[in-house]
Structure 1
Amino acid sequence: RRGEEYVSVYARRDGGEVLTYTDANGVLLRRLRRFPDGREIILIDNGFRGPPRGFAEEVVVLPPPPIEIAPDAYVVDYGAADERLIYETLTAPPLAPMQRRYTLDEIRYSPSVRAYTRSVDIDTINFDTGSWAITPDQAQRLVTVAEALNEAIKRNPAEVFLIEGHTDAVGSDVDNLSLSDRRAQSVATILSRDFGVPPENLTTQGYGEQYLKVQTQGPSRENRRVTVRRITPLLSGPQAETHRR
């Protein structure tokens, strides 16, 4: 404990550290990576928005972004995409300049903010109804997205990617939200454990049945999916993204 903050320190294999700061209620304040030589980079910093707020205050409404690319390049189906398109999608800037930086919760809870980023639907993992388990053969299908993430993080260690979990419309809202959280976490765990993607560069969020890919109230494997998107420019703001380019 340091003053009003709590600090968790995770030792990396390379001799560096990942420091996560939370308040007394466990709310994430910031996360940074410290390299073995003492250099530090901020991955997530929610402090600029002041004290934690209620859910409704975290929802941001933006006008729809201008989508001047093909639909299948805006939301990429992983199974039909090549390595080049996966990497391009996961390193692309927002579809339009962002007016400011956003907190992680603003990004998580605001579909109109996330809409400014391209995404990859991991359609090669087919979850069974009510399950978040991933079979070993399906886990191996994550190799291409893992390589893209690792390359992006190698080039910019401050990159942050959101792993989103989704369900179909079968079951209660509460159960589906919990289930989708676990699906997102299952994919994030495999990416880090099996393919070496740094866990500090990933964050997860479940959305239950809120964003159906196929509009049906019945069972649907297409809706039981996980989506990956780059949220670095949303967290860091327009000046940081312009400097990166």
Structure 2
Amino acid sequence: MTPSLLITGGGRGIGAATARLAAQAGYAVGLSYRHDAQAAAEVVRGIEAAGGRALAVRADVGVDSDVERLFDAVQAEFGPLRGLVNNAGTLERQARVDEMDAARLHRVLTTNVIGAFLCAGAAVRRLSTRHGGAGGVIVNVSSRAAVLGSGGEYVDYAASKGAVDTLTVGLAREVAQESIRVCGVRPGLIETDIHALGGEPGRVARLASGVPLGRGGTAEEVARAILWLLSDNASYVTGTLLDVSGGR
């Protein structure tokens, strides 16, 4: 049976690159999107044109009922889930902490933290041998910002990714005896359109000289790390945070 994989935020950037690579690796891919139906549909069309199987589902990962509907839709289409890439995330325009208000913080933390927890919980209920599942892998997409802090830019985003790191380590220990591995990737400066959300589309070019490898990374480079963590080649890897950051 073709293994099924759910990727949240799979319509663009790292999520889309992971969806394409996963389909090439033989997964049936379910992906969620929140706003951009066209981008998600293009990912699905590309996968299907190459002979793969994919499904796009509109869902807000910060809403319990949307998360359950998302997971149910993917399993109804492709059968029992074998993995989750917890990728959906957002950020706001660059600002100092003393310029942030509660509304902004709620938007960032609802998607990046509550959404990650809700999706991880939904995955555990379907993967865990404790719940009658066959096991699987959860890969949480964090950020090097969790370590670097993103001062003067996105401290709220960085803090949300610090929470994702803690979720990764804690959940890995919680479900290790239930045939679930939980890992995280921490991308560094990656060429995706998330920087435009922060008001600086050229941010990678501005900061690239501070990366030891001398350049920004690509979404595909992060996707390859995610696929390795999902694979049996990483069978003894859990609770691990893998930096994909060019040394930064």
- TM bucket (normalised to shorter chain) is 0.3 to 0.5
Q: TM-score, normalised by structure 1?
A: 0.34
